[in-house]
Chains A and B, each alone.
Chain A
Amino acid sequence: MTDLTRRKMLGVAAAGAVTSLSTSAEAAAPATPPAASPLPNQDDLRAFVALSSVLTGIAVLKLAPTVDPIQVKNQYFDAAKADPAFPTLLQMVRSDPDPKNPVATATKVMNDPKLKFLGRSIILAWYLGAWYDPKNLETYNQPGDHPFPLNPVKVISGTAYTQGWTWRVAQAHPMGYSELRYGYWAEDPLKLDAYIA
């Protein structure tokens, strides 16, 4: 029930949103926490989040708020770390002259044939909460008749699914995880910037 507690803490931190958050949390928060692994080096993690922000087009503070009770970034870091290309990618970001704003580095990563598919996997982790093997992405990127759909290796966690950014980019919410109230669907959603900027 760890996540339930965390969600309630978030509700307390964000006074005013307590009701809706706890409502969703009671119903939908995953009961099992993600598998424990050693916390990543904080500098590495910061570099990873900064790169992720440029790759996803979503603000750093949205991906990893200052008060971050969910810590989904750790799960994505761990998923990416398992890929053999990750040390090279991380080194490239860590050696960036402007590590807080690694636009140039991100472009370099996404143009590097050895790194770009890992970069895409990282984007998809943030967007969909699922891990797509960079090798599968590379295979599907080659010409040929590839079976539909391209499946992820796994859903990183139930929490990761509920934190997927593609739903927010659609100005919506993950299916099965609404924090909104009856009738919201008859109204225009908030502007896109309210979700991702």
Chain B
Amino acid sequence: MCAARMPDPDVVIVGSGIAGALIAKVLATAGKRVLILEAGEQLPPDINGYMNRFLNATAKVPESPYPPELFDAKGLVDPSTVNAGRPTVLSLGARYRFGDWQDPKQAYLIQQGPLPFASTYERINGGTSRHWLGTSLRFLPSDFEMKTRFNRFVDWPIKYSHLEEWYGKAEHEIGVSADVADQSYLDIGFSSGYSYPMPKIVMSKVDAAVEAGLSGLKISAHGLDDVKWAVASTPAARNSQPYQNRRVCAGNTNCIPICPIQAKYDPSVTLADALRTGRVDIMYKTVASKVQVDESGRVSGIEWIRYQDEKGPPVERGSVTGNKKVYILAGNAIETPRLLLMSTSERTPEGVANRKDGKGFVGKYLMDHPLYLAWALAPKPVWGYRGPLSTAGIEICRDGKFRSDRGAFRIEIGNEGWNFALGDPHTTTVDFVNGINFSGLNGGKSDDPKRGEPKALFGSQLADTLNDKLARQFRLGFLIEQSPDAGNRVTVSDQFKDHLGLKRPQISYNLSEYTKQGLAAAKDTASAIFKNMGADEFTTKPNADDPSTFEWPQGSTERIKYYGAGHLVGTHRMGTSVNDSVVDDMQRSWDHKNLYLVGSGSFPTVATANPTLTLAALCLRTADDIVKNFPNL
């Protein structure tokens, strides 16, 4: 039923994703005894089961390889029947259609709007980094100082210099392939003699085509006038050489949702090291349900519920207790505040680590990188659908004076044709076989006045036509810096619960003018890049009933669509005092001295870099601090 339970651990961690795994390894290596409560199932001995789920899935979405099941005979599984549910991109649909984003019978998150929070996560051993891309960019020094430099939002309580050493340690722990010279832009600094553990991943034909196409590009809007446009290789936790007994990337073009050969880092690597110390125990299928606080204000225990089958009854309830222990919540920026807010008592009427009378910050300032996606046909073949999903980007626009006025962005160059964009190559193939035109490639774009009748092809004409189209497809993804807004928040639903009877996360979410201006700048930049390349843009005009869209320019009939980047940020922000934040710069609760809330939920601002490397660096720094100060925490 359950692994032998550690009787009296020094440290209890909730969640075995990358944050929990890294901290567990450091603490266990330093001699501490660590118990991890993991809501999801134990990793199977090999990944064939997950691969089979992926290969056989009709909708190969990021969640498709992993339990719990997304579909049953009736459609999307009702989240109220699942013990450890999670959101899926399939439930971002229009109202009253398949995957209705506000239908609690289809969507795990209770979305209050006005716009959908479009990112998802996993609740399994290894967490969401099972399906991450592997992008491991450092934040820029300016990203920590938005208030000082741009008079916007808040500064972090730490600067880049505080984290520099920890970035290096994180890059070696997770195995990042990159080149210091390539990454030394916009004031990113490296300690003398530093090198990444592996050489950079070679760039793709798509990257080369975009790089050539940037030549002479000028964009005289959105504060981009002075940008010297260039393509940079992307640092990635993906092996360019054998590393940590894992093999070299074979370019399966499947980092999301699952690398079939584990050339991409995932937290099972770190968890295996942690378990080998003999001082770590993981309780699987064990959902933390309440954090207890004693009269001294210290956390005195965590209650949990264990289940056996993903939709079965609870099999055991219990708690791990003791106010001398250190408790670390490493869920994610939705599940961690959910647990805190569920943990109400006389002592904590508005939840743990949350101030009374609405003065607390738990759950507030939820952020993502709202992602603008644009796609085009290159004038010549670029041969996508090959290599890692992304090997390069345009990073030079991550910083500039424009950040006083609008969100910055980085641009990710995709190597997967129009897969993200349209579910290709399926859509284009079906178009040409069946004489229909969802892609815009078979007869013309939807707004083309000269649009012709789509053709149904077969034989060599079909093969040659598909070859010509598919080999020229590529896309750009813009990760927009979202403003931290107190109204974008996680609460818990009194009405809707999961199968364990626990309140489901409820989300209020919107995009500010600052964020929308960033998306608008991305849209114009994409079109300008395509034009400069001689590429033919096919980005679909979004439907008005698509919930993940907004009118732009305001008052027009045009709309901009955004996607989730899977980056959950900001709901237990760090700061300088209890008056502005939930945790201090070590991610330690201001209110409960033996409680840490770790992960990208601690970020006060989201900047433009994918968050995993920065959260890994923060967690290694936190773990080091716990080791140094134990047992006086």
Contacts and interface: CB of A to CB of B under 8 A. Distances in A.
A185 B205 contact: yes
B250 A178 contact: yes
Contacts of A24: 250, 260
A186 B203 CA distance: 6
A37 B209 CA distance: 48
B429 A27 contact: no
A120 B455 CA distance: 13
Interface residues of B, number: 66
Contact of B459 (A57, A140, A162, A183): A57
A76 interface: no
Given A57-B464, A123-B458, A175 B254 contact: yes
Interface stretch (B151-159, B359-367, B420-428, B489-497): B420-428
Given A28-B55, A167-B385, A185-B204, A177 B260 contact: yes
A148 B384 CA distance: 23
B383 interface: yes
Interface string B55-68: 11111100000000
Interface string B366-403: 00000000000000010111111001000000000000
A147 B93 CA distance: 12
Interface centre among A57, A146, A151, A185 (most CB of B within 10 A): A185
Nearest to A181: B250
A155 interface: yes
Nearest to A176: B254
B463 A56 contact: yes
Interface in B417-471: 417, 419, 422-423, 425-427, 429-430, 433-436, 438, 456, 458-464, 466-467, 470-471
A63 interface: no
Interface of B: 47-49, 51-52, 54-60, 97-98, 202-205, 208, 240, 248-254, 258, 260-261, 381, 383-388, 391, 415-417, 419, 422-423, 425-427, 429-430, 433-436, 438, 456, 458-464, 466-467, 470-471
A162 B251 contact: no
6 contacts: A55-B458, A57-B459, A124-B434, A170-B384, A186-B208, A188-B383
Contacts of A116: 456
Contact of A23 (B48, B97, B261, B434): B261
A127 interface: yes
A31 B458 contact: no
A148 B542 CA distance: 12
A150 B260 contact: no
A137 to B, nearest CB: 5
B430 A176 contact: no
A161 B383 contact: no
Contacts of B385: 167, 170, 172-173, 175
B55 A170 contact: no
